Chains A and B, each alone.
Chain A
Amino acid sequence: MLKKRIIPCLDIRDGQVVKGVNFKQLRFAGDPVELAKRYVDEGADELVFLDISATNEKRKTLTKLVQRIAREVDIPFTVGGGIAMLADARAVIESGADKVSVNSAAVNRPDLINEIAQEFGNQCVVLAVDTKHQQGLDIVFTHGGTRPSSLHTETWVLEAVSRGAGEILLTSMDADGTKAGFDLRISKKISQLLSVPVIASGGAGRMEDFQTLFTQTMASAALAASIFHFGEVPIPELKKFLIKNNIPTRWI
């Protein structure tokens, strides 16, 4: 049976992990590769690296980092943050990333999705969408969730899939940071609407939140950052809990 995926997200700036990380018995210096390997050992199913520095000057640092990750990590990983052109996508994929995620740049110029999909295949293109519920509508935000766009979330994800997006990383800005659970309404709506996998993101606080997400929506995967980084929800315990509750989960 296909398993539900648990995906830690690492924010990277200038080649270092941004948010503090607190593993038991591990002094962590901020090296993304060290953290990534730790997550692999704990049973993470995939990894997402978001480069939040992402200026032209910093891209070289990122490419080098992606090469190091690819050499050392033996599970699939996605790299995103500032992917604005086909050349940016090519640089990270050729450095060894399995997928790239695109966000604001694809809203500005949707052809970017077609271009990456045509060169590397749909399975390489993850569309990241930051969505917020406003006056009864779901609106796409860009630039790290700071700017509202004119797009409705349902319309945008459908268009993106028709252009070649192979997966949707759906972040609910309403739930993000609350630790009150995933946004079940939007996760359910979008995962039912689409024929490609949806990764739900934002709001995870407890192990039960993952169980609820996977029982009440068709989301294929769940992404979280701080609860994993700070050891609030250790991945092995989470997976044990999900297996006990009959959620198809990979156990290592």
Chain B
Amino acid sequence: MIAIIQYNAGNATSVKNALDRLGYPAVITADPELIRSADQVIFPGVGEASTAMKYLRDRNLDQLLRSLKQPVLGICLGLQLMCRHTEEGDTTCLGIFDVGVKHFPATGIVPHMGWNSLVEPHGSLMAGINTGDDFYFVHSYHAEKAEATVAEANYLLPFSAALHRDNFYAVQFHPEKSAETGKKLLLNFLKLT
């Protein structure tokens, strides 16, 4: 069973629709038992970081997320919340990745919105995905480059498009809205155990 975490910053339905199209039914849930017993967990997110973190803390979902042992995939805001800290609302995040999240320089058009290509994707999540493959991004804050980076992208500056440590994976882009390349990435994740 695949659990999609339900909280106040959701594009959970879009993620569920994408998994349905791939033939992998998922449940959208905030039930700790269901989440803990899932084969894979997806932590989506569209929204504002400080209100999302507060919501997670108030329900102890922050501790639950950190303690998960099965493959976990953070998407967009999910990735940022899995980092150490974000400049958005000066928010302390989950700290799963020792990575800082910063606002894009004000010199450019923000949000970074649209299709952008990955640079040097590597590791199991990125199997069959190559430099130059495009994914759909929408975000105003970016995770800095770090040891956990498994793919970069360039917009105004190079940043982490994907992170990985142990059983935790995260992508800044929206695989559920990235047509064929997105499908490939989701299928890679769903094969992880």
Chain B associates with chain A: yes
Interface on A for B, CB 8 Å cutoff?
1-5, 40, 45, 70-72, 74-76, 94, 96, 98, 120-124, 166-167, 194-197, 218, 220-221, 250, 252
Q: Is the CB of A74 within 8 A of B114?
A: no
Whether B55 is near chain A, meaning CB under 8 Å from some CB there, is no
A196 contact from B18, B47, B110, Cβ within 8 A: B110
A2 contact from B17, B106, B116, Cβ within 8 A: B116
Report the count of interface residues on B (CB-CB < 8 A): 36
Q: Is the CB of A250 within 8 A of B115?
A: yes
Whether B138 is near chain A, meaning CB under 8 Å from some CB there, is yes
A252 to B106, CA, bound (A): 31
User: What 1/0 mask marks residues of chain B from 116 to 141 whose CB sits below 8 Å from any chain A CB?
Assistant: 11000000000000000010111110
Q: What chain A residues lie within 8 Å of B137 (beta carbons)?
A: 2
B window 144-162: CB within 8 A of A: 154-155
A76 with B177, Cβ < 8 A, contacts A70-B13, A96-B17 known: yes
Q: Name 23 A/B residue pairs within 8 A (Cβ), A-sorted.
A: A1-B116, A2-B155, A3-B114, A3-B115, A3-B134, A45-B115, A70-B13, A70-B17, A74-B183, A75-B178, A76-B174, A121-B48, A122-B111, A123-B113, A123-B140, A166-B113, A194-B109, A195-B106, A196-B110, A197-B114, A218-B109, A221-B114, A250-B115
Q: Is the CB of B14 within 8 A of A197?
A: no
Residue of A nearest to B13 (CB): A96
Whether B64 is near chain A, meaning CB under 8 Å from some CB there, is no
A-B pair number, CB within 8 angstroms: 86
Residue of B nearest to A2 (CB): B116
Q: A72-B21, A124-B46, A250-B134 are in contact. List 12 more A-B contacts (CB 8 A).
A: A2-B115, A2-B137, A5-B115, A70-B17, A71-B17, A74-B18, A74-B176, A75-B179, A120-B46, A120-B47, A196-B109, A197-B113
A123 with B115, Cβ < 8 A, contacts A74-B21, A75-B179, A76-B177 known: no
Whether B74 is near chain A, meaning CB under 8 Å from some CB there, is no
A167 to B182, CA, bound (A): 24
User: What 1/0 mask marks residues of chain B from 171 to 193 whose CB sits below 8 Å from any chain A CB?
Assistant: 00010111110110000000000
Q: What chain B residues lie within 8 Å of A250 (beta carbons)?
A: 115, 134
Whether B20 is near chain A, meaning CB under 8 Å from some CB there, is yes
